[in-house]
A = this chain, B = another copy of it.
Amino acid sequence: MITIGQLANYAGVTIKAVRHYHERGLLAEPPRDASGYRRYSAAHAVDLIKIKTLAEAGVPLARIKELLAADPDRFAAAVAEIDRNLQERAAELQRTRERIARLGAGDRLFVSPEVADFLDRLRGIGVSERGVRMERDMWILLQSVSPEQAADWIADKREAIGDPGFQALYVEYDAAFDWSPDDPRLSELADRARRWLAGRGTRSGPAPDPTVIRLVATATGVSPAWDRLAEIARR
C-alpha cells in the first residue's frame, strides 16, 4: 500500500495530476489510512500508467475515461485510431517544419506561388525593391479580398510580363513614382501605356468587383506623379 507520492513517482506524473485524475473520475479514489492519506494498490498503478500513456498521446481526459470503461475490443479499436491520429500529427509536424524554414527567407510564405514568381520576374527586369514591395502588398490585400479575382489577374499579368513592351512600361512607371506631377514625361508615358493596352485588344475577363476597385484606389495616393498618371488615364 503506497502513498500518492510513490505512486506518482512510479508512473512519472505529478501528485497534482493524480489528484486531478481523481477529480475527473479517471482514477478510482483509494481508501484512506487513519490520518486521511490516500493508500494505493498495484491496480491503481496499472490504471495510472494507462492514463498517463494515453494522455501523453494527446487523448483528451474525457475520452480516456470512456476508454478505460470500454471492453477490450473497443479499447483495441480506439488505440488503433489513436495511433493513426498520431501518425497524422507526425506528418503535420513535418509540413510545419518546412514552412518554418521558409519563414526567414523571401516573400513566398505570404503570397501564392504565382504571385511570388511574378515578383521575382519584376526584380529580374529591374523594378526597384520598393516597387516590388508595394506590388507584393497590393497582391496580399487583393488575395484576401477576392482570391478568385486575384488568380485571374495574376494569370493575366504573368502573361503580360513576358512582353518587352510591358516590361519597359512597368519599369518606367516604377521610376515615375518619384517624379514631379508636372514632369512632361508623364503624359508621354500615359500615352504609351494607352497604346500598349489598345494594341493588346480588349480583355473581357469577369466584371471587376467594386470592392477591389476601391481597394486599388485606396492603395494609391502616396505618389503625386502616379495620381497624375491616373488622372490623365481617366480622360
**What is the interface of chain A, defined by CB distance below 8 A to chain B?**
1-2, 6-7, 9-10, 41-43, 45-46, 49-50, 53-54, 56-57, 72, 75-76, 79, 82-83, 86-87, 89-90, 93-94, 96-97, 99-101, 103-104, 109-110, 136-138, 140-141, 143-145, 215, 218
Q: Which residue of B lies closest to A144 (CB)?
A: B10
Contact between B86 and A41, CB atoms less than 8 A apart: no
Contact between B79 and A104, CB atoms less than 8 A apart: yes
Closest CB-CB distance, A14 to chain B, in whole Å?
Answer: 15
Given the complex of chains A and B, what is the CA–CA distance between A155 and B45 in angstroms? 22
Contact between B141 and A57, CB atoms less than 8 A apart: no
Contact between A42 and B2, CB atoms less than 8 A apart: no
Contact between B144 and A7, CB atoms less than 8 A apart: yes
Closest CB-CB distance, A149 to chain B, in whole Å?
Answer: 13
Contact between B89 and A101, CB atoms less than 8 A apart: no
Q: Contact partner of A83 among B57, B97, B110, CB < 8 A?
A: B97
Given the complex of chains A and B, what is the CA–CA distance between A1 and B137 in angstroms? 11
Given the complex of chains A and B, what is the CA–CA distance between A101 and B53 in angstroms? 10
Contact between A45 and B97, CB atoms less than 8 A apart: no
